[in-house]
Amino acid sequence: MSKVLLIGAGGVGTRLAAEVAALAGVSELVLAGRSEARLATAQRSCQAQVPGARVRGLPLDVGVVERTAEVLAAESPDVVVMCASLRSAWDLLGRSDEQATAITRAGLAVRLPYMVTLPLALMRAVKESGITAPVANLCFPDVTGPVLATQGLAPTVGLGNVGMLLLRAAEAAGLDPRRDLIRVVGHHAQMFTAAQGIRPPAGEDTPRTYLGDPPRRADDLPYRPAARQPGSDFDALTVAASTPVIEALLPDAAPLRWSVPAPEGLPGGYPVRLQGSTVTMDLPDDITVEEAVALNSTWARGDGIQEILPDGTVHMTERAREAVAEVDRGLGEPLRIEDLPERVALLDHYLHPESNDSDAPHSSIEG
């Protein structure tokens, strides 16, 4: 029986916590986050949905590396699940003001500082603590994973995204994704439209979807089920795609063939074999790892990512830079690891002026 530490008790974190607490291999779920009120709500929700589950709240600002390292060493979890970001991915949903519209149009890359700051702090704490537990990251993993990999701090796997494409393909084909072999190579940028049933324009590449072995291409499948709506409807699919991965990371878990974002820090998503902390690539014979990485690096442009340099600097696409130019050209400039606090403050200046104070980079942590 295993202990899981889940960081981030926001909307998707709370949903995921209940599913993790219900897993047969989990003896204790520790919920960590800055807001004690949210922790208490998430804990009550878990215990109401899973009577008898052992769920404990732990106040923690994961952005404080030294304290987080102490907690990791003391708790010694078997799996760490990262669901906390400085701002939710749905933070701008429904906003129509000029700044929010421009930044949304640029793609999620411009808001990368919100998504990567806390996973970076967590992975620094993991290294400092010396724990060897696998880390599953839900925060924009297709991009944060490869950025962290340049620092030698890649989480074990990401969650959601390409796994969501896998579930939609299974639904369209009437297959059981745990029993029937479905393998998907795809990126978050494609998931966002595919989950809404929006097919790309003619000539644009779709995720590579493979059924069975020998594999049969069926790239249209993720677009065929009923459209999901951004927000809580997406979150439900995210949780469904993430729970089997977390279960497979537990010690002595049964092996799982699934598709996950950023295995060992690769950009985008890939089919893998999971068992405990072991993750191995599971690509069909017609595509190499190098080809799959090249595809995902190209698809990342749909999120506004032109290139991630070996030192972790992220270059935005021309489209992303043009989208934010009328707000502030600085938002589209190359993003260096050391510039994260400054860029978070700049984003908050335009998107959340009410939080522009001395601790603006930590003004709101979402799960």
DSSP per-residue letters across 98-149: HHHHHHHHH-GGGGHHHHHHHHHHHHHHHHHHT----EEE-SSHHHHHHHHH
3-state helix, strand, coil in the chain (%, to 5): 45, 20, 35
Distance CA 289, CA 323 (A): 33
Residue 119, pLDDT score: 98
User: Given a cut of 60, is residue 358 above it in pLDDT?
Assistant: no
Q: What is the DSSP annotation of 185-214? A: EB-HHHHHHHTTT-PPPTTS---EEEETTT
In the predicted model, is pLDDT for residue 32 greater than 70? yes
- In this predicted structure, the answer to whether residue 360 has a pLDDT above a threshold of 50 is no
The amino acid at residue 152 is G
Residue 267, both tokens: 């950009």
Task: Kindly report the average pLDDT of the chain as a whole number.
Answer: 94
Give the pLDDT confidence score for residue 4 in this predicted structure.
98
Q: What is the pLDDT of residue 42?
A: 93
- pLDDT above 90 covers a percentage of the chain that reads 93
2-157 domain in CATH 3.40.50.720?
Answer: yes
Range of weakest confidence among 34-43, 57-66, 157-166, 315-324: 34-43
Cα–Cα distance for residue pair 304/103, rounded to 1 Å? 11
**Sign (positive or negative) of CA dihedral 168, 171, 174, 180:** positive
Of 128, 8, 5, 119, give the one whose Cα is nearest residue 66.
Answer: 128
Could you give the percent of the chain with pLDDT greater than 70? 97
CA distance 16 to 14: 5
pLDDT at residue 293 greater than cutoff 80: yes
Higher pLDDT, 265 or 1: 265
Distances (CA, A) of 261 to 38, 125, 164: 27, 22, 10
Which tens digits make up the pLDDT trace of 272-292?
999 988 999 999 999 999 999
pLDDT at 319: 97
Residue 203 has pLDDT above 90, yes or no: no
> Counting beta carbons within 10 angstroms of the beta carbon of residue 18, is it exposed (0 to 12), middle (13 to 18) or buried (19 or more)?
buried
Give ranges for CATH 3.40.50.720 in the chain: 2-157
* 319: helix, strand or coil: helix
H-only helix segments in 211-338: 232-249, 289-299, 318-324
DSSP 8-class letter at 353: G
pLDDT, average across residues 83-112: 96
- The answer to whether residue 68 scores a pLDDT higher than 60 is yes
Residue 258 banded pLDDT, cuts 50, 70, 90: very high
User: Phi and psi for 30 in degrees, rounded to 5?
Assistant: -105, 120
Token look-up 């291409």 returns 217
Q: pLDDT of 144-158, one tens digit each?
A: 999 999 999 999 999
Whole-number Å distance between alpha carbons of 145 and 261: 8
- Is residue 357 predicted with pLDDT exceeding 60? no
**What gap in Å lies between CA 218 and CA 216, rounded to an integer?**
6
